[in-house]
Structure 1
């Protein structure tokens, strides 16, 4: 039985202070191989994390993707849009000293506040929309992990059994620390464990996941209209954050596909 405890993930204050835009000070980016690690360089200087560690990742595709983030900056460096860099930095610095189990506990307990498990009790258009768009994914989640979970039609949290939490925890613990960091970020972006897992397993696209996470907001907009620039910017920002999170999961977990899950569990 897993001991499941809630955890609150807050951005590191040092990271927040360094989110301001800076003038671009380098001409080109590159990656260097160092054993089984890959470092990102800006001209001849090694990229560092906010806490001064050498910025290195354990696979070339991720290093290339992060180098591309830096290379895409034009006159200024806007760190707030460099999501892969932020994820890798947080993983390397681990400012709150979270273990993999801490993050798994956070995700598992988040299921009790999952956006798509809270549905309206009004049998109107919104209810029908939730029924059509959300219920199939709830059913997929139950079938995929062989568990039972019921949505709620009130403000009361849905009932999530310890057995359900245990099944989900075992699945997440089969991933490495970095991949679980990506899952945590995806859950925070979508406010939904179910949508995050469905996106990671390619059941839905990132665009669809964001649309489903914003279903009620989109429904209200269809009636009352919206401030177009604000609405679209918010949606695009969520899509870019989610895309980075899912890419981070995939690029950090490809090696686990051939590793028995019980072997990884025994190492926790």
Structure 2
């Protein structure tokens, strides 16, 4: 439960910072909240989210249903946390579920796994900037231990590069990681992809999902060069903090999503008495 509580706190922190800094983006007005209560309903072996008496639907109009009760509860909690307006951009777990159910790009699990392992060729932590000696030392100190962990954990030999035109990952290592990812279900590998697109790093996403580092740490490492630059040139506090908390909320949702999709489908109740 510790990892679940940590991830939920990151999501809540981001939402609070949106309010704290009065941050406004000029998008179409979000719809008003039209329901009072949220709940879940078991339908055969799946779980649906109910808004008052209405069944939640996906953007394509499909009935929203998932195989894991805890995941359904997390989605219902996101909808219940909406205030006067429904802000979809705050509901990362709902977004992930909708992507699985609608599959707008008609992707297969193999497509996603192939995307992930090929992303290693441009992984943030594998390309280090040796033209700035201080930044290079900073990257070595912060990134190299995570790369070392990744290699040991997955029995691969990833090597960092200082030349942007040299792919650092062998086909053998990609095949090894492909086999690992194929052991997850379709929903979980979508979660991995969402995390990788958030951090721009396969290595950091895996380290976070494997609980080697926290979402906060993963985001910090993904923004290492930016953190280095702000240390020299100053920090626009509200802008940098808001972006950081946004990334942490997205990544926390990924960790929960992969976790829920790798567990049994029902919440186990404690025996009373």
Give TM-score scaled by structure 2 length: 0.85
Q: 1:136 to 1:218 in 2, by over 3 A?
A: same
- Kept in 2, the 8 Å contact 1:19–1:79? The answer is no
Query: Does residue 190 in structure 1 map to residue 199 in structure 2?
Result: yes
- What's the CA shift for 1:154? 2.0
Q: Which has the higher contact order (CA 8 A, sep 6+)?
A: 2
- Kept in 2, the 8 Å contact 1:40–1:63? The answer is yes
Residue 179 of structure 1 aligns with which residue? 188
- Kept in 2, the 8 Å contact 1:117–1:158? The answer is no
Residue 78 of structure 2 aligns with which residue? 69
Residue 56 of structure 1 aligns with which residue? 65
- What's the CA shift for 1:131? 0.7
Query: Does residue 229 in structure 1 map to residue 229 in structure 2?
Result: no
C-alpha root-mean-square deviation of aligned residues, in Å? Answer: 1.5
Q: 1:217 to 1:123 in 2, by over 3 A?
A: closer
Query: Does residue 78 in structure 1 map to residue 87 in structure 2?
Result: yes
Say how many residue pairs are matched: 239
Q: 1:90 to 1:43 in 2, by over 3 A?
A: same
CA distance in 1, matches of 2:173, 2:229: 33
CA distance in 2, matches of 1:208, 1:63: 28
- What's the CA shift for 1:156? 2.0
Q: Deviations over 1:193-222 (max 9, x none)?
A: 000000000000000000000000000001
Q: Deviations over 1:43-69 (max 9, x none)?
A: 000000000000011111110010000
Deviates more, 1:115-124 or 1:247-256: 247-256
CA distance in 1, matches of 2:32, 2:113: 38
Residue 214 of structure 1 aligns with which residue? 223
Residue 125 of structure 1 aligns with which residue? 134
Residue 12 of structure 1 aligns with which residue? none
- Kept in 2, the 8 Å contact 1:31–1:38? The answer is yes
Residue 101 of structure 1 aligns with which residue? 110
Q: Deviations over 1:3-45 (max 9, x none)?
A: xxxxxxxxxxxxxxx9851110000100000111000010000
- Kept in 2, the 8 Å contact 1:40–1:67? The answer is yes
Consecutive unaligned residues of structure 2, counting only runs of 5 or more, are 1-26, 266-273
CA distance in 1, matches of 2:204, 2:214: 10
Of 39, 42, 57 in structure 2, the residue corresponding to residue 30 of structure 1 is: 39
